[in-house]
Amino acid sequence: MEYRRLGASGLLVPALSFGAGTFGGRGELFSAWGDTDARQARRLVDISLEAGVTLFDTADVYSDGASEEVLGEAIRGRRDQVLISTKATLPTGPGPADAGSGRGRLISAVEGSLRRLGIDHIDLFQLHAFDAGTPVEEVLAALDTLVRAGKIRYVGASNFAGWQLMKSLAAADRHGLPRYVAHQVYYSLVGRDYEWELMPLGLDQGVGAVVWSPLGWGRLTGKIRRGQPLPAGSRLHQTAEAGPPVDDEVLYDVVDVLDEIAAETGRTVPQIALNWLLRRPTVATVIVGARDEEQLRQNLGAVGWSLDADQIARLDKASAVTAPYPYYPYYRLGDFARVNPPAV
């Protein structure tokens, strides 16, 4: 396993990390993801650690807290071998104190996560969304309190817009408060919006990408192809509307190239899609999930090898879409690369 620095921090994370969204199985959405119990989770953690996957990601909203509880059971007795990432901000109940990133909410959310996980500190604590109703200075001051108390080690954000992330970073610098070193983002071969603004921001500000749903919300499994019905066992039947939108023609074009490269390399479609992401600028770690051992081992096969330049170029071309304004005029004219890092 390759280990990378998480943004401009001293924290080393594995190139692949494990997403515990399939743990617990409570609620309509998360039960469709998976219903892994503690016994099954321990086995998945065993396999992950054997492969060098040391970072495990969850959130307080996953299965109404059951994901954290199951993960806590699965890592019991080996806390020193793992890094734990969790998130808060999204609503966990109907009350006014059950959502957001206000001081009281963040402190109670962290205490709740620590209790459910059965640990005394969180290695990476991320805000699950931007809270526009709370001043960023209050949010950062609350995180500073939690860092100083030893309850969290590093802080990050998730699903922020560029201006939201930059405003938070500027406030952190201005007041000497904890700086976000991670941004948990959606990024895949069928969802490259991250590249337009957030990737250049990450390069400039030292914020590492923690990638969620790298297989396009289950669309790059190798089971979905042009002219074929959605497989009966696909979770897309129940969850498609909750995930990122994907243009069908872009999807099919990408899958056609993935199939070609799979034949050339002897790798699976998901392994190729994951390997492409691992070559992208700012990407610190890619979160993979798994309902069972076989799926996990397949995903772990995405590391230890590399696509060649021609294969990457073909995937880039197949997955390219028109950039949004204000980027598209300069991309079309080829001028953007002259004033931005070539990696972008």
Give me the active site residues, please. 62
Lookup: tokens for 193: 């919006």
Cα–Cα distance for residue pair 306/312, rounded to 1 Å: 10
Q: If you ran DSSP here, which 8-state letter would residue 333 be given?
A: H
CA dist., res. 190 & res. 177, Å (int) = 36
Measure the CA–CA gap between 3 and 116, rounded to whole angstroms. Answer: 28
Cβ–Cβ < 8 Å for 286, 211: yes
Q: What are the tokens at 192?
A: 């490259």
Preceding amide of 326 cis, omega within 30: yes
Instruction: Give Dmax (Cα) for the chain.
Output: 57
**Beta strand spans in the chain (E):** 3-5, 12-14, 16-19, 55-57, 83-88, 122-127, 152-158, 182-186, 208-212, 283-288
C-beta of residue 277 within 8 angstroms of C-beta of residue 188: yes
Euclidean distance between the first and the last CA atom of the chain, given in angstroms as a whole number: 25
Burial of 74 (0-12, 13-18, 19+ CB in 10 A): buried
DSSP 228-286: SPPPTT-THHHHGGGS----HHHHHHHHHHHHHHHHHHS--HHHHHHHHHHTSTTEEEE
